[in-house]
Structure 1
Amino acid sequence: MGLYDLCRYSWNGIADKQCPWCAFFTSEDLKILEYITDQFHYYRNGYGNKYSKLLGEIILADLFQRFEAAKDGKGKKIIVYFSHATAMDMMFVALDLFKDERPPTGAYRDPNRKWKTAKISTFGANLLAVLNRCKGTDDVQDYHVAFYLNEEPLLELCSQGVCSWQEFEDKFKPFTNTTLDFCEQ
């Protein structure tokens, strides 16, 4: 797996051009290794781990609270988080993104699965949320939040990857009730 990690960490993702570390593997090897990695991440920090959703919600609650403060003129206009792919996976679970009908198993490798860590949470993955202040009707300020995953609009959250403030609030405000009470047991 060490050579495969070098391969997937240095893959540039542009025009499907492989890095030199991937030359060790056939196309079929890469498909199998990708699936093994997807299974590992699914059960460690994805839908297969009961704590992933809670831990992802904590990050999303913080995002909501910071954007709400910025909207009210009390917060910063730019918020940046740096994290490992593990936290990205947990946020996806909290947002109910990339969820397949059937969990991955060793019995069947679904080539059309949504949970593909090589696409959604690579070593250099990023999730960008942008709070936009817009001029609404009658010159009243309106706000929208645009989401990008790896510089591409995240279409699964809202239309064209852009949520109205109301859509954003409906999706993210419930995360503010998340607690870590399960840690005390």
Structure 2
Amino acid sequence: MTIMIFFQLIDGIQKRTGIDYVLTNTNITSLYDLCRYTWSDKDYTGSPWCALFTKEDLSMIEYYSDLRHYYRNGHGTPMNERFGRIPMGDLYETFVNAKVNKHRKLTTYFTHATMMDMLYSALGWFRDRFPLTALYRDPNRKWRSTMTAPFGGNLIAVLNRCLIDNKEDYKIVFYSNEKLVTSMCDNGVCSWQQFENQFRPFLNASIDFCFT
């Protein structure tokens, strides 16, 4: 996204508002937030705030948000992965205990988009072949904040107890926003050994580096 293209975007929105003072970058992103926040109602009716933007405008501002998420919370900064390892270690311990005790049916945690991005970084999900930059907006990029961290975004890990050849076994599947994550293990289904190999190392995660 070059500076000239961004100025053209601002100029177009400025003309559509009809107001007589110059819009700042903060004004533009605030209008974008009004568009998407007031669109997401239960009736799925369009928001009048979205009339200020063309489809290309929305695509460009989405990419601006993607860059912000990518470098502030995601793969763009290596430290984010270290923060994301902490809850993944807890997930591993939860499933180990579930195998032994077999009485807890559900464990839930509530967080926000920042931590979700860090979890994805720790898991290596939505990692593009090349880092995201302002110079090139890849329309086929994996890291897309409107898809990975939407309203009500969620990550679900399911531990399934199975009987295979009359022997108890366990399979784990992951869902991102209710969609099966097929990139995990064998088309989305992990054996216990595969899960353990990937998640047990998270037990060694630490944020001690924050205090050095």
> TM-score, structure 1 length as denominator?
0.90
For 1:40-65, what per-residue CA distance to the aligned partner results, in whole angstroms no more than 9, with x for missing partners?
A: 00010001222210110001000010
Alignment correspondent of 2:186: 159
- Counterpart of 1:55 in structure 2 is 83
What's the counterpart of residue 158 of structure 2? Answer: 130
CA distance in 1, matches of 2:155, 2:68: 21
What residue is the counterpart of 2:137 in the other structure? 109
- Would the alpha carbon gap of residues 178 and 71 (structure 1) be closer, same or farther in structure 2, given more than 3 Å must change? same
Cα deviation 1:47-103 (Å, max 9, x = unaligned): 122221011000100001001100111662211111101111101100111111221
Asked whether the equivalents of residues 67 and 131 of structure 1 are also in contact (C-alpha less than 8 Å), the reply is yes
Classify 1:106/1:169 alpha carbon distance in 2 versus 1 (closer, same or farther; 3 Å): same
Q: What amino acid is aligned across from residue 210 of structure 2 in structure 1?
A: C
Aligned counterpart, 1:173: 200
1:10 Cα shift? Answer: 5.4
Amino acid at match of 1:46: G
Give the equivalent residue in structure 2 for 1:80. 108
| Separation in 1, partners of 2:188, 2:128 | 20
Partner in structure 2 of residue 22 of structure 1: 50
SS in 2 for 1:159: coil
List per-residue Cα deviations over 1:85-141 (Å, max 9, x = no partner).
Answer: 11111011001111112211111111111110111111321111111111122x221
Gaps of 5+ in 1: none
Matched, 1:140 2:150: no
Question: CA separation in 2, counterparts of 1:176 and 1:10?
Answer: 41
1:183 alignment partner AA: C
Amino acid at match of 1:5: D
Equivalent position to 2:176, from 137, 145, 149: 149
**Higher alpha-carbon Rg:** 2
Q: Work out the percentage of aligned pairs sharing the same amino acid.
A: 49
CA 1:93/1:184 → structure 2, altered by over 3 Å: closer, same or farther?
same
Separation in 2 of the partners of 1:66 and 1:169? 12
Whichever residue aligns with residue 52 of structure 1, its letter is N
The separation in 1 between residues aligned to 2:118 and 2:136, in whole angstroms, is 24
